[in-house]
Every structure is written in structure tokens, then in C-alpha cells.
Structure 1
Amino acid sequence: MKKLFAFLICLQILKPAFAQNNSLNVEQLQAEVKQGIKQAYNASVRIIAYNSELQTGVGGNFSGVVVDKKGHILTAGHAVTPNAIYLVNFPDGRQVKAKGLGVIVSADAGMLVITDKGKWPTAKMGWSSLLENNVPCLSIACPGNLGLNNPTVRFGYISNKLHENGYIQNTCLMEPGDSGGPLFDLQGRVIGIHSRIRDGQEENFETPIDVFRKYWTALQSPQNHTAFIPEDKFSPDKKAEMLKPVPEIAALSSSFKAQAAEFQQTVFAVKDSVQKVSILSTLVNLKGLFPESDLKGKSFFITKSSELSEHPIIEVVSGKFVSAKVLNRDEKNDLALLEVSMEINGGVTLQSINTDSVSFEEVGNFLISPRPKNEGIMSVLGNCFLAIPKSPAAFLGIGVNFNTDTRKISVTALYPERTNAKTENAKGGENDIAIGDVLTRINNESILTVDGLSKELSKYDIDQSVSLQYTKKSGSTYTRDVVLKHYYVAPNVSFDHFREGKSQRRDNFKEALVHDGKLNPADCGGPLYGANGVFYGINIARFCRTTTLAIPAKVIVQFVKESKIIL
């Protein structure tokens, strides 16, 4: 409460924490979101293939949801092999084995069953036939790019209750790894299973939950069902609570115009005067952290370091830019502290920030990312403090993926060093790593998952080397010491699965917050607020289709305290 109180005084916010938009009660909606997460989260699981010989998980992950005490797990048909053994990770850390059951390819429906003994958290099944457009919904699943055992929350609404392709279309962001993950209503009932996406961020498609009701008996049989499939008879429970559409949900951000207008006073555009790159910066108030005499006649901003040279300029009013001095950089968190020789009122008062950790109870909170000239971007907090490891692409110059046919980690792309990123292609010798090669070991340890490779890389710093073993198409195996450097990873819509693209520097963070804000890379560097006025941190990267990363407020405060403001 102290953090919120001090922040409200700083920004002179005299309005209610939640403004009302006509009939939409956003405070009630927020409470329902939190209740839905509470009901559904623990039954949402991460799944990975199990190698009996190695007694460990291998390959890429997918998602699912446990729906009964017998341990039946609903998931996507394209992720399951009948009779195969899988490892299932619950959010509470428990890991159990499960067996693949039936698959209905035409409906992308699949089922597993837990084979270990125990009691499991379960989620209720809803009724997709009762859905209407604009019904709020929650995705609670495990995006592949994050590589986490515990699921991440995203919030949205039903945009097409029955798309022409037979699936439910909704606005909860999805990506590979989410496949099989559950879509819930705000009562925590499963209404769909994540199936597929297109490049538009609004194009997320679910297998309707009623498909699983219709083919429940068939899915008990461990086989791929391709011929005639007997249907089970069912009808919606007459006592089931109806799902009410919220017509205003498509313009939810308009309910927070008052807050966004206040938050907007702390965000400014900043450009690199050499490269002409434009991002955002956050105005910060350093009173109480440094002597008043050192602050007089100056203003201070924090932004994303990797996008700026030594000569940034800040747009202090529309169309007017002033030169800024770089006082300090924190390469580990990609932060830069800037100073301009003029006083600008306001800013985030860092002295008053509570540096305690964000708790799980805050997951699902409504967030706002303000922009200087545009409407703020709404999102929800999807996960607590996370470590984001080094990616093979950005630090080895090697794109990798788990090949579902060969069940190996294959090289999919090569990238040039960042220093001459856009002018030269990657070059190498005849036996150097090439596209199509299979990575087998790192530092003499088997590479079984992409996540495992990233975590091993994170133990090393730039200019240190790792030993990579790889097998070429000819069958020949080679071992090379590869030095970690910075590589340029060009945007790739077909691989990234969204047109807006990822930030260039987006990984290797020891502590980050995750939210589902649809930020462009140019929107990073600005502040992230709770709709109730809490300063959560600074948006640092659009990480992937589902995720934007923010550096937490406590890290921001520590960075500033360690900086020198007199040069």
C-alpha cells in the first residue's frame, strides 16, 4: 500500500483506481479474471516426450489440462503419439508419467492418461456450444519460447465462436509449445484446446471442448482415428452457468483512459541520432536518492540500452528533440540512464518504490504500457520473476529446433555477427556447423532439448567458449569450440508467427516479468504500470508472439542507485 500511495501522490492521480466504461465494471472483471486463474491454474500442465533409456524428457514441449480424477489429460491431436510415454509437469513442481491415448487428426483432438498413482488437481469441462462472441477467456499454457515448467496466463475474448474452419477463434495470444493448452472461461472451465495460429495476433484457434465430449469414448482407445468415429451423445447441462458476452471488451483500454493519460506523462520517445532508431524512455524522479543540488536543472530517463549509441536525443515535446547524455549502462539488464539539461516535472518517484518481489497473487492483474502519442496497450501479468536464458541464435549464431520426425535437435539457421549484421552473410569452412546438422552434445553433455542447450549457454559470458558436437548429413561427427558473441537475428515472420516481430536483444535476463502486451519493439523502454497505479517496471523486449518482458521495478531502483549522475 505504501508503494501505491506514494506513486499516486507523485502523479497526482485523484481518480478512482478503476474508471468505469458505461456498463462495463472493470473492477468486477478483474476480480473474475483472478478467480478464473485460481480455479484453473493448477490443472494446466506442461508435457514432454519421455526417453525410457535415458529416463528423462526429450524434444519440445506441449501443453494440456487434467480434467478428471482418473488423470485424463486433454491436448492437441498433432502433439500426441498413441501409447507413447510422456512426462507431465504440474505447476506445483510434481512430475508424473502419462501414456498417449487416442488422436482424432481431423479435429486436432488428443488425450493422455496419467499412469502414476496419486491425486491431481483438475479443471471442469465447459460447453463450447454455449459460447458467444465477446465472452472473456483465459489461456493458461506453456509457450515454447519461454521454456518454463509452470504455465503463463494470457487474457482475451472469443472473437468468433465457430470459425469457418470449425475452430473457436479468440484473442488470447498463442505460439508453438502452447499446443494442447487449455482455454478457460472466467469460471475456470475448459472451453477449448489450443490448436493452431496464423501470423495475425488475433488469429488464435481452439478445438472446441464439445469435440472432446463427442468423441470421449473413442479417445480412450490409443490409436489414430481416421475412419468413421462413433459419437457419444451429450447435451449441455441445463444448470450450467451461462457465459455472458462483454461487448465493451474489444475496447477494454478505453476504460483506463484516465490512468493512461496520467501514465503518459512519464513516457517519452527517444532516438539514436546516428542509427535513427526510435524507442521509448521512462522519465524518473531521483529525489531522495541523490542530493537536491545534483538534480537541479536536469531530468533523467531510463530506456533500452542496446538500441542507442552514445548520442541519443529525446522528444521532450511533440516535434522538439533535445540531446541526452548517457550516464550509465547496465548491459545485463539492457538498461541505460540518460540525462537532459532541463527540468521536466513529474516522473516515477523511485525512492518510494517497494522493492519486494511480485507475488503469484498478482498474476492476472491488468497492466498498462503507456505510449507518448498513442493509446496505452493493455495486458495482464502472466508470470512472476523469471530467468530468461541465452538463446543459441543470439549467442552462438545458430538457429535450432527439435525435429519431430528425427527426434533430434537440428540446426535451422545461421546468423552473422552483429557488428556487420546487415551487410555480410555467415561464412564458414566445409566442416563447420551448417543448416541441417544435428547438435548432439555441449560440453560433453547430451543435448536433449532446446531449453537444455539455452540453460547451458547461460553459464558462460561473452568471449568464453563452449564445446559443441554435431553430426553432418554424411554421418560424420565433429567437435568444435565456439566462442560466445553477439549475433544479428533477422526478423522472420514465418518462424516468429507474428508480423510485428521480436526485439533484437530479448534474452539473457536474470530476472524479468512476463505479460501479454502486444508491444512492437519500438514500444520498449517505456514504463509498465498496474491499472491501480503500481509501477511494475520498464518494458525491455518483445520476446515472442505471446510475451513481452519487463525489467522489474526493484532492479530499476538498484541500477539507478549504483549510477553516478555527475560527470
Structure 2
Amino acid sequence: MFFLVVTLLVLFARPAMGQSYLKRGYDTDGKYVLKAFAPVVAETRQSVVQFVADGKKSVLGTIVTADGLVLTKASEVRLAEKLTAKLSDGREVEAQLLAEDRLDDLALIQLDAEGLRPVAFELDAKPRLGQWVIVPGLDEAPEAVGVMSALPRRVNGVRLGISLFDHPENGRPVIRFAIPGMGAQAAGLQPGDVLRSIAGHEVNNSQDVIDSMQNVIAGDVIEVVVERRGKEMTFEVEMRLRELNTKLKEDYMNSMGNRMSERRDGFASVFQHDATLTPAECGGPLLDLDGRCIGINIARAGRIEAYTLPAEVVVESLEALTAQTMVKDDAPDTTEH
């Protein structure tokens, strides 16, 4: 860390009158700034892989065991017919998806490689607002750097696509209108429908509606039961992300630059930073200034918003995913002979 601080001081040292604050070239090319963080990622970059899905660059991955188990962003590799991984030593090896954690969007993948260096998750790290965070890749310099901008919280951007009000007499949630282009309208829900249950959960007011959707993600199809003119009706509704509306300032800003991750919602706990990741740079570890791994980058959620699963969430998910693979291995062979 001392070397890094000295390097940054040299980069940004106050110049003589009339001179640039940065050494010539440093003010027009961010790679020089990234190289200042090379000592931070020197060890951990050996624990990073770059996945290639069906011949195209996909996401990063984080090595978690010496015998080739890797965690990455599940939604970016799930549909790949052929999956390989490039290692920091230049090798490209075969990869096989073993198990998925759909809520945290993590996948456990087995590489055809041994003797790898697993990452060490720092469970005692206490991220602070404004601290530096670094995204290692395969190269000497990191992929990106940024600062912590929000501490762990739940994020869920999926919507039924309805506006509600609670009935003045019985408090029941009533649909005021269905939003065009969203799942509720497509399924046939109408103004005046009284919600009775969502995804098997009885709803008695608007707060119940919110609580019933805590563990759903974009693409899920849930059962919605309503009362319409005294008759109970059931609908299958696809959960969708709200489409960007560039007339809104926030959406306009998020529409600029690289695309966002397709899955960027429905996380029980993520912290947020402003390192400028692309979706292909998710799936790898996030480091603090001491080079400690404090989590795995899981989504590019906005122009300057990236989400990271905290280390304790990742470790818990890894344990569950490993247990899934053990159950599969122990399952009896039902093949007919």
C-alpha cells in the first residue's frame, strides 16, 4: 500500500506554474493511472479467469479452489454450448457449469486445470464509503478502479407493472392502472382488479404486495390472483425490468456509454461502487487498497454504478453450490441397462 501511495503522489504531484498536473501523456490516457494500482492486483490477478462462451469473450471468473472450481456471473454463461476459460498464464482450458445460485446470479464452474491459486475472501473487511476499490483482470494493470459509493443493501428493480391504491374501506390493494409494456398489462390485469395473492402469498395491502416480490427476478413468471367484479381470476405474469425512459434524467445518463448487465436486480445484499465496468468485466473479484478480496462484481447497473456481492454472501453461496454438486455426485444411477 505504501508503494501505491507514493506512486499516486508522484502522478498527481503539484507542478510548477503553467505546467500540467500530470506527467505528459498521463492526462490523456487512463492506463497510466491504472498501472499505479498494479502492485495491489499482482497476486490476485492469478486467481482471475476470462471466460469465452461459444467463441466470444464473456465474463471474468474468480478461482476458489486449486483444483479448478471457479465462481462467475451465472446469467452470462448459462446458455453457452461451449465454454472455455483463459488463465493468467496464457492457457485456455475447457470449462463445465456445475451448479447455479439464481438469487445471487452465481455459477460454480469446473475448469480442466489443477494447481491454480484460489482467491482468499476477506470476511472481516468493513467497506467504507469513499474507499478505493480495484477490479483485477488477467493483465498486470487492473481492469478498473473506483470508490465505494453505497454500503450493502437489497436491490430489486423488477416490477409487476401496476400502480396501486389501498381500498378506503377494507384496505385491499386495488390496481389503479397497468403500465404499458410491462408484464401485468400483457397478462390481462385491469384497473379495478383487487389483488388477492401474489406468488402464493396472500396480500391484504400494498406493503404485502411489495413483500411478496422480494425473491423474484426479471424473467420469473408468477401467479397473480385477483378479484374482478366478484369473480376470482388467476393470471401468469412475467416479471420485467422497467424500460429506460430517456426523458428522465437518470435514465438518460444510464443510457450513455457501455450497455448494462441484463441481470442487474434481485440481489439480497450488494454494495455499490463507481468503477467503470462493462458486463464482460463482472464475475471477478473486487479488492480494497490492501489487495484483500472483499467480494465479487455481479452487475453493471448504471453508467457509474456497479454492484458487488460482499465476501460473506459469496462464501455462503459457494458452500450451497458445492453441496449441490455433492448431491448430484451421490445421486443413484438410473440409466437403463
TM-score (normalised: structure 2): 0.67
Does the 8 Å contact 2:4/2:39 carry over to 1?
no
SS class of match (1:333):
coil
Corresponding residue of 1:516? 274
Counterpart among 153, 169, 173 of residue 386 in structure 1: 153
Q: 1:22 to 1:388 in 2, by over 3 A?
A: closer
Corresponding residue of 2:333? none
Q: 1:330 to 1:428 in 2, by over 3 A?
A: closer
Instruction: Note if 1:341 corresponds to 2:122.
Output: no
Query: Deviation at 1:264?
Result: 2.6
Q: 1:307 to 1:516 in 2, by over 3 A?
A: same
Does the 8 Å contact 1:501/1:521 carry over to 2?
yes
Q: 1:469 to 1:304 in 2, by over 3 A?
A: farther
Q: Where do residues 4-403 of structure 1 align in structure 2 (5 Å cutoff)?
A: 16=3, 18-21=5-8, 23-24=10-11, 252-273=33-54, 276=56, 278-284=58-64, 286=65, 298-309=67-78, 311-316=82-87, 320-350=91-121, 353-354=122-123, 356=124, 358=126, 362-373=128-139, 375-389=142-156, 391-392=158-159, 396=160, 398=161
Corresponding residue of 1:204? none
1:321-346: CA deviation from partner (whole Å, max 9, x where unpaired) = 32212233211111111122222432
Corresponding residue of 1:556? 314
Does the 8 Å contact 1:279/1:522 carry over to 2?
yes
Query: Deviation at 1:507?
Result: 1.1
Counterpart among 540, 546, 551 of residue 298 in structure 2: 540
Q: Give distance in 2, aligned partners of 1:559 and 1:510.
A: 12
Amino acid corresponding to residue 370 of structure 1 in structure 2: P
Does the 8 Å contact 1:411/1:438 carry over to 2?
no
Q: Where do residues 495-514 of structure 1 align in structure 2 (5 Å cutoff)?
A: 495=251, 496-514=254-272
Q: 1:440 to 1:378 in 2, by over 3 A?
A: farther
Q: 1:322 to 1:247 in 2, by over 3 A?
A: closer
Does the 8 Å contact 2:271/2:307 carry over to 1?
yes
Q: Give distance in 2, aligned partners of 1:303 and 1:538.
A: 8
Give the percent of matched residue pairs that are identical in Structure 1 and Structure 2: 23
Query: Deviation at 1:414?
Result: 3.4
Q: 1:316 to 1:253 in 2, by over 3 A?
A: closer
1:246-281: CA deviation from partner (whole Å, max 9, x where unpaired) = 9799664342132234433222111333x9561111
Query: Deviation at 1:464?
Result: 4.1
Instruction: Note if 1:445 corresponds to 2:205.
Output: yes
Query: Deviation at 1:551?
Result: 1.0
Deviates more, 1:366-375 or 1:549-558: 366-375
Q: Give distance in 1, aligned partners of 2:210 and 2:259.
A: 21
Amino acid corresponding to residue 53 of structure 2 in structure 1: D
Q: Give distance in 2, aligned partners of 1:264 and 1:17.
A: 17
SS class of match (1:21):
helix
Query: Deviation at 1:486?
Result: 5.6
Query: Deviation at 1:391?
Result: 1.1
Instruction: Considering Cα pairs closer than 8 Å and 6+ residues apart, tell me whether 1 or 2 has the greater RCO.
Output: 2
Q: Give distance in 1, aligned partners of 2:178 and 2:125.
A: 38
Does the 8 Å contact 1:399/1:413 carry over to 2?
no
Q: 1:433 to 1:365 in 2, by over 3 A?
A: same
1:203-228: CA deviation from partner (whole Å, max 9, x where unpaired) = xxxxxxxxxxxxxxxxxxxxxxxxxx
Amino acid corresponding to residue 95 of structure 2 in structure 1: A
Amino acid corresponding to residue 445 of structure 1 in structure 2: N
SS class of match (2:109):
strand
Q: 1:331 to 1:446 in 2, by over 3 A?
A: closer
Q: 1:453 to 1:542 in 2, by over 3 A?
A: farther
Q: 1:372 to 1:249 in 2, by over 3 A?
A: closer
SS class of match (1:358):
coil
SS class of match (1:557):
helix
Q: 1:22 to 1:382 in 2, by over 3 A?
A: closer
Q: Give distance in 2, aligned partners of 1:411 and 1:439.
A: 14
Q: 1:547 to 1:399 in 2, by over 3 A?
A: farther
Q: Give distance in 2, aligned partners of 1:17 and 1:540.
A: 26
Amino acid corresponding to residue 384 of structure 1 in structure 2: L
TM-score (normalised: structure 1): 0.42
Does the 8 Å contact 2:34/2:145 carry over to 1?
yes
Q: 1:438 to 1:24 in 2, by over 3 A?
A: farther
Amino acid corresponding to residue 117 of structure 2 in structure 1: G
Q: Which runs of 5+ in 1 are unaligned?
A: 1-13, 27-133, 136-245, 287-294, 401-407, 416-425, 471-475
Does the 8 Å contact 1:281/1:526 carry over to 2?
yes
Query: Deviation at 1:515?
Result: 0.9
Q: 1:466 to 1:299 in 2, by over 3 A?
A: same
Amino acid corresponding to residue 316 of structure 1 in structure 2: L
Query: Deviation at 1:371?
Result: 2.5
Query: Deviation at 1:377?
Result: 0.7
Q: 1:357 to 1:262 in 2, by over 3 A?
A: closer
Q: 1:511 to 1:427 in 2, by over 3 A?
A: closer
Q: Give distance in 1, aligned partners of 2:7 and 2:277.
A: 25
Corresponding residue of 2:214? 458
CA RMSD, aligned part only?
4.4
1:358-396: CA deviation from partner (whole Å, max 9, x where unpaired) = 35xx1111001123357421111112211112511xxx4
Query: Deviation at 1:518?
Result: 1.4
Q: 1:453 to 1:256 in 2, by over 3 A?
A: farther
Q: Give distance in 1, aligned partners of 2:106 and 2:272.
A: 17
Amino acid corresponding to residue 299 of structure 1 in structure 2: G
